[in-house]
Amino acid sequence: MNTDVMVVGAGPTGLMLACELASAGVRTRILERRTEPQRDSRALSLHPRSVELMDQRGLLDRFLPLGRTVPGWHFAGLRTRLDFGALDSRHGYTLFLAQARTEAILEERAHELGVEVSRGYEVLGVRQDGDGVEVEARVPGGGTETVRGLYAVGCDGGRSVVRQAAGIGFPGTDETLTGVLGDFAVVDPQPGALDVARARGVLVAPLEGGLTRFVCLDPERIRVPAREPVTLEEFRASLIRITGSDCGVAEPRWLSRFGNATRLAERYRSGRILLAGDAAHIHFPAAGQGLNTGLQDAVNLGWKLAAAVNGWAPPGLLDSYDGERRPVGRSVTENTEVQTLLAELTLIAQYRRPAAALRELLDHLLGMTEVNRWLADRISALGTRYPPTTPGADPLVGRRMPDVGLTAAGSRATRVYELLAQDSRFVLLALAGGRAVREAVDAGWGSRVTAVTVDTHDEHADLDGVTEVLVRPDGHVAWATRTTDGGTRDDERARALTAWAGAPS
């Protein structure tokens, strides 16, 4: 067995997961059906939490120069924008970047980490036993190969072969509505036509390479099955009906139809087989959450699966992937269904007037700071909080750790996310100082936890009174205490480290 984990699918989720595993010393191989990297880009956005994750892995400098930052985002296409810039993050924006670029950066990083990417491998079946998993794949040039590893993760999309082989159900609702998108090399040079299109609900976005993307819902074509190909003539006709003009679109580079089928896997783990990304959840691409949810699945799963492979995972750690990420998947599928319903009501003649009134009401609500922030937190995923595992846990537990600036004893000024980027380990911050803390952590958990004695840090309301905080490799808080008694704090810390980072070595 020369592979620890087999990742099926080389999309953003699979590539991110492979990077997470390899950075933790796990031998990882990706099996991808396509022989070449994906050139078309359905997804175009990295939301704030995903941008933070790239920062936590030291990759942000590779992403930022290639994209465009957008501080405001939308919910259901409402006029009042979600203000990401007001959120508690150094990255209060969406990074507008083609999915193909995201995949290229992550694949480059995967190669740097020693991940084997096997293209042209079409997975035919997956079998597991008590010791590992076997994946049978059709290989380039004909014939098959059976690859064996300790675990397999299906990142192979909504029609996941891995999910089906594992016998995991995928309940939900079938497609009832479809839209179309097109990337065009030629559009109307007069700005007025594009302004009208945007005003009438057509998404118009400039892409790199001089392309322009159009996405629209045509009331006369929303019941066309997603499997039916889109033609240039159909696209032009839809634009004329919606905007009064075909917007001069010509020379399409990609045309696609997408639907609102919404499904959530019954579980994200079956023994040694796990699911992430679209293999675990599919939905209408409302507010651009799909790719981001998959990346966040990968970062949550990566360190836990690595702990299992490396032999130090405490009981229940790998199962917590399902317990933490499946509720997030449910939340995303539900809010996209709400957005899709609102869009559909707007398109149906007998509902247009009350739908317009409802949109006006929601626009007014989004103008309220608290409402806007509440929803922005959810769409950006900055508000994701995992349930605490013990009663009476500190309010910080389960939340993402704020990226405060730190001055550590004997070290240069740094940030929390810079510490996480060093080797994807836990970080224990002793905010009340004390060299003994570092020595105790190093003695028992030094191979898994970086202990830092903090002299000063940026003021942050959430950290008022906090004396120590244990940050997970994915940037969420595992444990925090406000206890000032040294002996009590030592006992609490030891229990928390054992519960999360395994028994002391």
Secondary structure class of 457 (helix, strand, coil): strand
pLDDT digits (tens, 9 = 90+) for 90-104: 999 999 999 999 999
Model confidence at 112: pLDDT above 80? yes
Q: What is the pLDDT of residue 331?
A: 97
Please give the torsion angle defined by the CA atoms of residues 407, 412, 415 and 418, in that order, rounded to the nearest 10 degrees.
-150
Question: pLDDT-based confidence at 434, cuts 50/70/90?
Answer: confident
Would the pLDDT of 474 be above 80?
Answer: yes
CA 495 – CA 482 distance, rounded (Å):
15
Find how far residue 208's CA is from the centre of its chain: 23
Residue 1 has a pLDDT of: 59
Residue 310, both tokens: 């490396």
DSSP code of residue 84:
G
- Please compute the mean of the pLDDT values over residues 287-305 and round it to a whole number: 97
Q: What are 475's two structure tokens?
A: 């940037």
Query: What top-level class would CATH report for the domain 178-258?
Result: alpha beta
> Which value, to the nearest 10 degrees, does the dihedral of the CA atoms of residues 45, 49, 54, 60 take?
70
**pLDDT exceeds cutoff 80 at 381:** yes
Confidence band, pLDDT 50/70/90 cuts, at residue 306: very high
The stretch 401-427 carries a mean pLDDT of 88
Report d(CA 393, CA 64) in Å as an integer.
36
Q: State how far the Cα of 260 lies from the Cα of 157, in Å rounded to an integer.
A: 15
C-alpha span between 34 and 489 (Å, rounded): 53
Longest dimension (CA), the chain: 75
Going by the DSSP 8-state scheme, the letter that residue 314 receives in this structure is P
| pLDDT tens readout for residues 146-203 | 999 999 999 999 999 999 999 999 999 999 999 999 999 999 888 788 999 999 999 9
Whole-prediction pTM:
0.96
Share of the chain above pLDDT 70, in %: 99
What is the pLDDT of the chain when averaged over all its residues? 94
Contacts made by residues 381-385, CB under 8 angstroms, sequence distance 24+: 381/47, 381/48, 381/49, 381/50, 381/289, 381/292, 381/293, 381/296, 381/328, 382/48, 382/49, 382/52, 382/87, 382/88, 382/89, 384/49, 384/296, 384/328
pLDDT at 487: 86
Query: d(Cα 296, Cα 63) in Å, to the nearest integer?
Result: 17
- pLDDT over threshold 90, residue 220: yes
What is the C-alpha to C-alpha distance for residues 483 and 348, in angstroms, rounded to an integer? 59
CA-CA distance, 289 to 125, in Å (whole number)? 30
Tell me how far apart the alpha carbons of residues 302 and 21 are, in angstroms, rounded to a whole number: 5
In the chain, ranges of CATH 3.40.30.120 domains:
405-501
The pLDDT-based confidence of 485 (bands split at 50, 70, 90) is: confident
Confidence of residue 422 (pLDDT cuts 50, 70, 90): confident
- What is the average pLDDT across 119-127? 96
Residue 39 in this model has a pLDDT that exceeds 90 = no
pLDDT-derived band of residue 56, with 50, 70 and 90 as boundaries? very high
DSSP state of 32: E
**Contact at 8 Å (CB) between 347 and 223?**
no
Q: Where does the chain hold its CATH 3.30.70.2450 domain(s)?
A: 178-258
Where in the chain are all domains bearing CATH 3.50.50.60? 5-173+263-380
Q: Residue 106: pLDDT above 80?
A: yes
Given this structure, which CATH class describes domain 405-501? alpha beta
% the chain with pLDDT above 90? 86
Fold category of 5-173+263-380 in CATH: FAD/NAD(P)-binding domain (3.50.50)
Mean pLDDT of 305-333: 97
Q: What is the mean pLDDT of residues 271-300?
A: 97
Q: What is the pLDDT of residue 123?
A: 97
Q: From residue 403, give the alpha-carbon distance in Å to each of 106, 406, 453, 467.
A: 23, 9, 16, 16
Supply the pLDDT for residue 310.
96
- Which tens digits make up the pLDDT trace of 449-459? 999 998 888 88
Residue 129 Ramachandran class (φ > 0 left, ψ -120 to 50 alpha, else beta): beta
- List of residues 6+ apart from 385 with CB closer than 8 A: 398, 399, 400
pLDDT (average), residues 71-88: 94
Amino acid identity of 60?
Answer: L
